[in-house]
Amino acid sequence: MREEGITIERWKHANLKTGSFELDLILSRVTGRSRAEIVAHPQLKLSENQITRLNDDLRALEAGTPFAYISGKKEFFGIELEVSESVLVPRPETEILVEMVLTLAPKNATLLDLGTGSGAIALAIASERPDIKVSASDLSVSALEIAKKNARLLNLNLTFFHSNWYQSLPCRKWDLLVSNPPYVSENDPHLDALKKEPIEALTSGRDGLDAIRQIVSGSHDFLNPNGHLLIEHGFNQSEAVGRIFMTNSFENILSTKDYSGIERVKLGKFNGG
Ligand SMILES: C[S@@+](CC[C@H](N)C(=O)[O-])C[C@H]1O[C@@H](n2cnc3c(N)ncnc32)[C@H](O)[C@@H]1O
């Protein structure tokens, strides 16, 4: 069978074992048409070149590559970010942390995003609140390159640091420290489904809490008095993270739930003592 000239409908029908939603995403990317057009015009013909590209994308999806790595793009909090396999694909639940910052941050606050990856959190905040002076750091040089590129593309002015958490930061303090650190346990069976994403962005020791312990315990030297620390954590880590905040002298500790009603972000105030 010559494939040239087959319709969208026929190509979808031949590949139905992949979900219709995913098929529409790659059809939209390869044809340059919107998803609505793809759905509304199933009789449109595909060229041979388009079919080759569609089949390549399909193979990548079937091998577990997230669509964001195939398209090279991900929408987060209303901004479009470039992503590659050097960075975690920004997740919708991380938007909760951004919303908390936007509610909490006083005018002209200073903020540092630790482990910025694609720059998702830092850039979303900078785009919503031009008054906030945003800095961002990561240990991964290739992640920092992506974050800097995203800042340029979005025309946002951030300060970037290459640092192993606090180790190479300048000697200064911020009003808000925020982080979505790696928090998956090294033995978590869910890691199989995440094998295309950088492991250093995902796991953090046996209980998944090593990075959170380091970020909380090291925060005092980098937070202004009455400054706040906000950290995203795993669905089953709320109690443990709350204890880490308490033993490190944080006050007014609060948790925020995700859209499924699970506590996912911890907030604490540093009394400066
Ligand atoms: C879960 S990802 C979060 C990325 C991004 N903030 C987001 O929400 O999409 C964690 C990030 O922490 C970075 N990271 C891991 N270990 C680090 C360390 N020791 N110091 C600084 N950053 C680190 C990883 O490179 C990765 O970009």
Question: Whole-angstrom Cα distance, residue 238 to residue 185?
Answer: 14
| Cα–Cα distance for residue pair 42/96, rounded to 1 Å | 37
Q: Whose CA is nearest to atom 9 of ligand 1?
A: 90
Q: Which residues contact 145 (CB under 8 A, 6 or more apart)?
A: 86
Please name the residue that has the structure tokens 């929408």: 75
Mutation test of ligand 1: which of 139, 160, 190, 264 has the most ligand atoms closer than 8 Å to its C-beta? 139
**Counts of helices then strands in the chain (DSSP H, E):** 10, 9
Q: Are 241 and 217 in contact (CB under 8 A)?
A: no
Arithmetic mean of pLDDT, 204-227: 97
How far from 119 is each of 5, 40, 124, 127, CA to CA, in Å?
41, 35, 8, 12
pLDDT averaged over the chain? 95
- Tell which CATH classification among 3.30.1180.20, 3.40.50.720, 3.90.1300.10, 3.40.50.150 matches the domain 75-270: 3.40.50.150
Verify whether ligand 1 is closer than 6 Å to residue 229 (CB atom): no
What's residue 228's pLDDT? 98
Q: Residue ranges per domain, the chain?
A: 8-63, 75-270
Q: Which atom of ligand 1 is nearest to the CA of 89?
A: 9
Residue 160: strand, helix, or coil: strand
Q: What pLDDT score does 273 carry?
A: 63
With 0-12 / 13-18 / 19 or more C-beta atoms within 10 angstroms meaning exposed / middle / buried, residue 54 is buried
Angle at which helices 238-247 and 210-218 pack, to 10 degrees? 30
Residue from 116, 213, 216 whose mutation best tests the ligand 1 pocket (most atoms within 8 A of CB)? 116
Q: What percent of the chain has a predicted confidence (pLDDT) above 70?
A: 98
Q: Does ligand 1 have an atom closer than 6 angstroms to the CB of 168? A: no
- What is the structure's pLDDT at 70? 96
pLDDT tens-place string over residues 61-104: 999 999 999 999 999 999 999 999 999 999 999 999 999 999 99
Q: Check if 234 has its Cβ closer than 6 Å to any atom of ligand 1.
A: no
Q: Are 266 and 253 in contact (CB under 8 A)?
A: yes
Q: Is 139 in the pocket of ligand 1 (CB under 6 A)?
A: yes
- 266 CA distance to ligand 1 middle (Å): 17
pLDDT tens digit sequence for 112-139 = 999 999 999 999 999 999 999 999 999 9
Mutate to test the pocket of ligand 1, among 85, 118, 200, 202 (most ligand atoms within 8 A of CB): 200
CA gap 88, 196 in Å, rounded? 9
Question: In whole angstroms, what is the distance from residue 229 CA to residue 165 CA?
Answer: 14
| Nearest of 231, 108, 267 to residue 175 by alpha carbon | 108
175-190 mean pLDDT? 97
Task: Report which protein residue has its CA nearest ligand 1's atom 27.
Answer: 117
CB of 44 within 6 A of ligand 1: the answer is no
* Confidence (pLDDT) at 3: 45
**230 in Cβ contact with 94 (< 8 Å):** no
Q: Within 13 Å of residue 232, how many CA atoms lie on the same side as its CB? A: 25
